[in-house]
Structure 1
Amino acid sequence: VARRRTTILPRDKQSGTLLKPADSYGSHLEGGITKNLSSQSIRKYALNISEKRRLRDIQETQMKYLSEWDQWKQYSSKSWKRFLEKAREMTTHLELWRQDIRSIEGKFGTGIQSYFSFLRFLVLLNLVIFLIIFMLVLLPILLTKYKITNSTFVLIPFKDMDIQCTIYPISSSGLIYFYSYIIDLLSGTGFLEETSLFYGHYTIHGIKFQNFTYDLPLAYLISTIAYLALSLLWIVKRSVEGFKINLIRSEEHFQSYCNKIFAGWDFCITNRSMADLKHSSLRYELRADLEEERIRQKIAERTSEETIRIYSLRLFLNCIVLAVLAACFYAIYIATIFSQEHMKKEIDKMVFGENLLILYLPSIVITLANFITPIIFAKIIHYEDYSPGFEIRLTILRCVFMRLATICVLVFTLGSKITSCDNDTLCELCGYNQKLYPCWETQVGQEMYKLMIFDFIMILAVTIFVDFPRKLLVTHCSSWKLIRCWGQQEFAIPDNVLGIVYGQTICWIGAFFSPLLPAIATLKFIIIFYVKELSLLYTCRPSPRQFRASNSNFFFLLVLLIGLCLAIIPLTISVSRIPSSKACGPFTSFNTTWDVVPRTVSTFPSSLQSLVHGITSEAFAVPFFMIICLVMFYFIALAGAHKRVVVQLREQLSLVRKLSRTAPREGVDLLWLPLSTTVPKPRLREAAIAEGGLKEA
C-alpha cells in the first residue's frame, strides 16, 4: 500500500523534534514530564523509544547541575526502587503453588484459577492466625511447662465463687470401648477435651517470670482481637486492589479486547509449555468477553412482554428460594435442640452408631442443607436468564447466605440453651446452664470442631465416591443414555468458593473456643487444594460458560468479608454478654470475658486511666463519629471526582482515536504510530498524557 508523504524530512530525523522547545505544546509536555523524571521511570510513559532516549538524555543533563547531595538522593532512590523490583521478582518464584495455579489458568481459564488463588490466600491467612495465637497464648505456657525459662504458673484465685459452679465432670468412659477413641477424635470429647485444643485447658491466671507477670487472660483476649483485626485489614487491602482493577476495566469493553489482543502477551515467556498455557489463558479470556457481550446484546433486544415475563418468573423463583432457606433454618434449629438435650446420656447406654449420630446431628443437617441447596439454586438460576458473571455472583450470594446463616442459627441456638435457666437455682447462681454446660466455651468449640471435621470428610467423600466414579462411568459407559444425560461434570465455582468461605467462617468463630483450630484449618485447606486440583484435572471438563477472574477475585473477597462480619457478631456477644465459665478457662475469676480489660486499665497510672476513660466516653465518641462521617463523605466525593476524571480521559482517548482515522486524509504531519492509527502531533501527545492520567486515576 502506497503511503502519501506528508513532510520533506525523513522519519528518523522527525523523531528527535517531538519535544522541541520551539513547539509550545511540546515544550509544555516536556516541562510536565521532566518534572517527574526523578519520581517515575521513563519506561512508564507512552512514548516511542526515540523520545524515551531523549528524556533519558535530559535526565542525565539535569543530574549534572544538581548538588552532590541531590545526586546521591536520586541515585539512592533509583537503587532502592531497582532493589525492590528485583526482590518482588524473586518473591514471585517463591509463591506457594505458583506453577500449579498457572497450569490451571492455562487449561481451565482465569475464573477457576481465581478459586485456587483464593484458596492459597486462606492457607496463608490461617497460618498467620495460628502463629498469632501460638506466640501470645501457647508459647509462654510451653516455655513454663517444659522448664525452658525460669518461670512458674500463677493459679486462678477462687474468691467469692460458689463451689457448685466450679464442678467440671470430664467423662473417662472413652477408655472403655475402642470405638470411643474414634468418637473422641471425631467429636473432640474424651481425651481431646483435656488437651490444649480447647478453651478449658487454659485454666491458669498468668505466668510469673523474673521481672514481670504475664497476664494470660489478657493475652488470650488480645490474640482474638488481633486475628480478627488482621483478617479484616488483609481482606480489605486485597479487596481495594481488586476494586481498583474493576473500576478501570469495567467501563470500556472495547478497551478490554484491545488490551488482550495487542498487549496481552507476556514477552518474558521463553518456555514452550508456558507459551501454550498463555495462549489458552488468552483464549479463555476472549471467550468470556464474547459470551458476556452476547448476553448483553440479548438483554438489549428483549421486548416489553419478554421483560415482564422474565421479571415475573424471577419473583416466583425467589419466593421458592426463601421457602427453601426457611425450611433449612428450622431443620437446623430442631436438630440442635434435640442433640443438646440427648448428648448427656451415658455412652454405654447407646450403641456406637446412635451415639455418633446424636453428637453429629447438627453437623449432618447443616452439611446436608449446604449440599442440597446449591443444587436447587443452580437449577433455579438457569431459568432466570442472567449473564454468566451476574449468575455466578447471585448464586454465591444465595449460597453464602445459606451457609453462613446456618452457622449463625447453630451458634445462637447454643447461646439460647446456655443462658436458658428455666427457674433453675444453680443456673441463676452461676449465670449460665451449669448442669448442661459446665464449660460452655469448650462445648461450643467442640461444635465448631465437629463442623470443620465433618465438612472435610464430606469434601473427601464426594470427590472419591462421586466425582471419580462419575468420570469412570462417563468414560466407559457413554453408550448408556442416562450416563450421556448426566455427562462429565464441570467445576462449580460458586459451590467450591462457598465451601472454603464456610470453613473459614467456622475457623474465625471457633478459634476463640478452640485455639488450635486455625492450624487444623491450614492443614485442611492444603489437602483440599490437592484434592480439588486432582478432581479438576482428571474428572472435570472446561465450562462452556466462561467467567472473569478480575470480577471473581473481588467478589470472592467480598463474600469472605461478609463471613468475617458474621463471625464477629457471635464472638462479640460471647465475650461481652454471656458469663464466662467458672469451672474452666482463664476467665473463671471474671464475670464476663471483657471484664479483664477494665481490670487491666485499673492498674494503669491515674493520668493514663483518665485518658482511656475519656477516649471511651460518649463525649469523645460522638465527635469522633462525626469526624469519621465527614472523612467518609470527603472520600466519597473524591471517588466521584476521580470517576468523572476517568470518564473525561476516556472521552479524550476516544476523540484521539476518531481523529486518527481522518488525519491521513487531511494531510497532517504524521508521527511514529502505525499507518492505521496515525494521529496529528498535538493530539498524539495529548493521547500519551491521557493514557498516563487514566492509569493514575
Structure 2
Amino acid sequence: MEKYSPKVDLLVNLMRSITLRIASLVLTIAAQYQLNNCDYACIGDVISGSTLQACSNSNLDIPGLCKRGICWENSVGAQYFKLTLLDFIVQLVLMVVDLARSKCCAGNISFDVTKHVLDIVYSQTICWMGLFFAPLLSLVTFIKFVLILFIKIIYIKTVCTPQDSFYQASRISSIFKYFLLLGFWVSVIPLSLFIGYITPSNSCGPFKYHTEDGYYGVVLDKLEKISWAPAQNILYLLGQMTTLYLIFSGVLLLIYYYYAQATAQGDLCTRIEKELNQISMQKKELVSRISEETARRLIQ
C-alpha cells in the first residue's frame, strides 16, 4: 500500500486521474485531426473538361485520401457536444449511485476532493477543445456547471461527510489552477494545428471562401476593409513576427517577475515562521525558568 502525506496523496491521485482523462481527450482530437487532414478531392468533368472540387470525401474510394465530410467542423463540434452531455449524465448517475449507497448500506460517504476537482478540469478542457468548432458549447458548459453546482450542494448536504484528511484551501486552489492551466495548453496546441494546417470546408461555415488561405484569410479580409489607414497599419504591425516575439518576451519577463516575487515572499514567510518558532521556544523556556525560580523561592 502507498503511504503518503495528505498533500502528496492529493497530488498523486489528481495526476493519475487527470492524466487518464486528458489522454482520452487528446486521442479524440487526434482521431479527428487524422480524419480531416487532407484536401477535398478534385474530380474531372467529362462534359466540360474542367476540374471540380468535391464537397465531401466520405463517398469517394480513393487510396490515401481521408474521409473528410461536408461541413467537417460541425461534425467535430458535435463530438464535443456529445462528450459534454455524456460527462453531465455520468456525474448525475454517480451521484444517484452514491445516494442509493448511503441510504441502503454504506451510510454517509466521504467527500472526495480529488474526484470533484477532476470533474471540473475535465469539463472545462472539453469546452476549450470544442469551442472553435462549436461556439455555443461555452453556453452549454455554463448551464451544465450551474446545474451541477446546485445538484452537488444537495448531494453534499444529504450524502457526504467531510474527509478524514484535511487540506489547506489555498493549496487546493493553487493545485486546481495548475491543472486547469495544463488542460488549457492541452486544448490550445491541437487547435493551433487545426487552424494552421487544415483547410476549412468549402461548402458551409464562415470560412468557406478561404480554402486557399486558410482560417486566417478572414482576418486578412477584415483588415483590408478597414478604412482608417493608421489603425490598419497598427494591426498589421501587431501581426508581424518581430512584434509577436517582443510581446512573447515581455510576457515571459512578467511571468518570471511574478515567479521571483512569489519565491521571495515564500522565503520571507518561511524565515518569519522560523523566527516565530524560536520566539515561542524562548518564551516557553523563560516561563519554565520563572516557574522554577518561583517554586524555589516558595520552598525557601
- TM-score if structure 2 supplies the norm length? 0.75
Residue 385 (structure 1) aligned with residue 3 (structure 2): yes
What is the percentage of aligned positions where both structures have the same residue? Answer: 26
Q: Is the Cα–Cα contact under 8 Å of residues 408 and 566 in structure 1 kept in the other structure? A: yes
SS of the counterpart of 1:512? coil
* 2:188 corresponds to 1:568: yes
Q: 1:554 is matched with which residue: 152, 157, 174? A: 174
- Give, in whole Å, the separation in 1 of the partners of 2:241 and 2:215: 23
Give the superposition deviation at 1:634.
Answer: 4.9
1:470 equivalent among 90, 95, 101: 101
Q: Which residue of 1 aligns with 2:163?
A: 543
Q: Distance in 1 between matches of 2:54 and 2:199?
A: 8
Partner of 1:444: 76
User: Matches of residues 161-200 of structure 1 in structure 2 within 5 Å?
Assistant: none
Q: Which residue of 1 aligns with 2:42?
A: 425
CA distance in 1, matches of 2:216, 2:176: 33
The DSSP-based 3-state class of the residue aligned with 2:119 is: helix
CA contact (8 A) 1:497 1:556 kept: yes
Q: Is the 8 A contact 2:55 2:70 kept in 1?
A: no
Question: Do 2:41 and 2:54's aligned partners in 1 also have CA atoms closer than 8 Å?
Answer: no
1:259-287 CA-partner distances (Å, limit 9, x unpaired): xxxxxxxxxxxxxxxxxxxxxxxxxxxxx
Q: What letter is aligned with 1:521?
A: T
The 5 A counterparts of 1:85-484 are 383-420=1-38, 424-425=41-42, 429=53, 433=57, 435=59, 436-464=68-96, 466-474=97-105
Report SS of the residue matched to 1:513.
coil
Q: Distance in 1 between matches of 2:231 and 2:72?
A: 35
User: Which residue identity does 1:530 align to in structure 2?
Assistant: F
- The equivalent position to 1:646 in structure 2, one of 257, 269, 275, is 269
Measure, in 2, the Cα distance between the counterparts of 1:495 and 1:455: 13
Separation in structure 2 between the aligned mates of residue 558 and residue 603 of structure 1, nearest angstrom: 41
Measure how far apart 1:559 and its partner are.
1.3
Q: Which residue of 2 aligns with 1:121?
A: none
User: Number of paired residues?
Assistant: 271
Q: CA deviation at 1:536?
A: 2.9
Quote the residue 2:225 is aligned against. 603
Residue 333 (structure 1) aligns with: none
Deviations 1:451-489 (A, max 9, x none): 11112122222332x2233223316xxxxxxxxxxx764
SS at match of 2:3: coil
Note the residue ranges of structure 1 that are not aligned, 5 or more in a row.
Answer: 1-382, 476-486, 668-697
Mapped partners of 2:260, 2:192: distance in 1? 33
2:32 & 2:24 partners in 1: Cα distance? Answer: 12
Contact 2:55 2:69 in 1 (8 A): no
1:478-517 pair list within 5 angstroms: 489-517=109-137
Q: Deviation of residue 447 (structure 1)?
A: 0.5
Task: Find 1:577's aligned residue among 194, 197, 200.
Answer: 197
Decide whether the 8 Å contact of 1:431 with 1:579 is kept in 2. no
1:580 counterpart SS class: coil
Compute the displacement of 1:655 (Å): 4.6
- How far apart, in 1, do the equivalents of 2:103 and 2:257 lie? 59
1:138 alignment counterpart: none
| Equivalent residue letter for 1:411 | I
| Alignment-mate amino acid for residue 12 of structure 2 | L
Instruction: Report the equivalent of 1:587.
Output: 207
Which amino acid counterpart does residue 561 of structure 1 have in structure 2? L
**Pairwise CA distance, 1:556:** 1.5
CA distance in 2, matches of 1:390, 1:419: 42
Amino acid at match of 1:532: K
Distance, in Å, in 1 between the alignment partners of 2:126 and 2:72 is 17
Alignment of 1:645-664 (within 5 A): 645-661=268-284
Q: Would the aligned equivalents of 2:77 and 2:130 in 1 still touch at CA under 8 Å?
A: yes
CA distance in 1, matches of 2:113, 2:267: 34
Whole-angstrom distance in 1 between the partners of 2:9 and 2:133: 37
Rounded to whole Å, the distance in 1 between the matches of 2:193 and 2:14 is 27
**Deviations for 1:494-536, whole angstroms, at most 9, x for unmatched residues?**
1222122211211222233222222222222222223333333
Please list the CA deviations of residues 164-201 of structure 1 after superposition, one character each: whole Å capped at 9, or x if unmatched. xxxxxxxxxxxxxxxxxxxxxxxxxxxxxxxxxxxxxx
Give the AA of the match of 1:446: A
Indicate if the aligned counterparts of 1:471 and 1:488 stay in contact, CA closer than 8 A: yes
Q: CA deviation at 1:439?
A: 0.4
Gaps of 5+ in 2: 44-51, 60-67, 291-300
SS at match of 2:132: helix
Matched-pair contact (CA < 8 Å) for 1:419–1:431: no
**In 2, are the aligned partners of 1:432 and 1:579 still within 8 Å (CA)?**
no
Distance 2:263 2:168 in 1: 25
Q: Distance in 2 between matches of 1:627 and 1:468?
A: 51
Q: Are the structure 2 counterparts of residues 499 and 655 from structure 1 closer, same or farther at C-alpha, using a change threshold of 3 Å?
A: closer
CA distance in 2, matches of 1:555, 1:510: 24
Which structure has the bigger radius of gyration?
Answer: 1
Task: Note if contact 1:441-1:513 (Cα within 8 Å) is conserved in structure 2.
Answer: yes
> What are the superposed Cα offsets for residues 526-569 of structure 1, whole Å, 9 maximum, x if unpaired?
22223333333333344333333222122122212211221222
Q: What are the superposed Cα offsets for residues 128-160 of structure 1, whole Å, 9 maximum, x if unpaired?
A: xxxxxxxxxxxxxxxxxxxxxxxxxxxxxxxxx
Q: CA deviation at 1:641?
A: 4.0
Superposition deviation, residue 416 in structure 1:
0.8
Question: CA RMSD for the aligned pairs?
Answer: 3.3
When the two structures are superposed, what TM-score results if normalisation uses the length of structure 1? 0.35
Cα distance in structure 2, aligned partners of 1:470 and 1:519: 33
Q: Counterparts of 2:207 and 2:219 in 1: how far apart (Å)?
A: 11
The offset of 1:431, in angstroms, is 9.3
Rounded to whole Å, the distance in 1 between the matches of 2:257 and 2:145 is: 41
Q: Which has the higher contact order (CA 8 A, sep 6+)?
A: 1
Q: Is the 8 A contact 2:55 2:202 kept in 1?
A: no
Amino acid at match of 1:454: L
> Are 1:507 and 1:518, in contact at CA under 8 Å, matched by a contact in 2?
yes
